[in-house]
Amino acid sequence: DTDATFMRMKEDPMKNGQLKPGYNLQVASQNQYALYFDLFQRPTDTRTLVPFLSNIFAQTPNASQYVVADAGYGSEMNYQFISDDLEKEFLIP
């Protein structure tokens, strides 16, 4: 696949990172239902949050008042985007 990018995979028994071609799948859920998904060529979650949320709120402006994500999405750029551009509250450790 020429569109895939090399990402560190943890599939061997010793948990050694191996570079293999792949995609970064992002899924947004609510009440245990998957509502949105998108594939990215960016290997880190930090750089996928802004385009992912942009797509969600462009399709459904009132999708949610809150954005909850794990620490892998935490960055000042993401915090500013959520609070200033989307005008939503966030919980990202």
Dist. CA 45–CA 40, nearest whole Å: 9
Q: What is the CA radius of gyration of the chain?
A: 15
Domain count along the chain: 1
Q: CA geometry: angle at 4 spanning 13 and 29, to 5°?
A: 75
Contacts of 64 (CB under 8 A, 6+ apart): 30, 88
pLDDT tens figures, 48-86: 999 999 999 999 999 999 999 999 999 999 999 999 999
Dist. CA 26–CA 45, nearest whole Å: 8
Range of the domain at 40: 5-91
For residue 6, which of 37, 56, 44 has the smallest C-alpha distance? Answer: 44
What pairs with residue 92 in β-bridges? Answer: none
Q: What percent of the chain has pLDDT over 90?
A: 77
Confidence of residue 16 (pLDDT cuts 50, 70, 90): confident
- Alpha carbon 73 to its chain centroid, in Å, reads 7
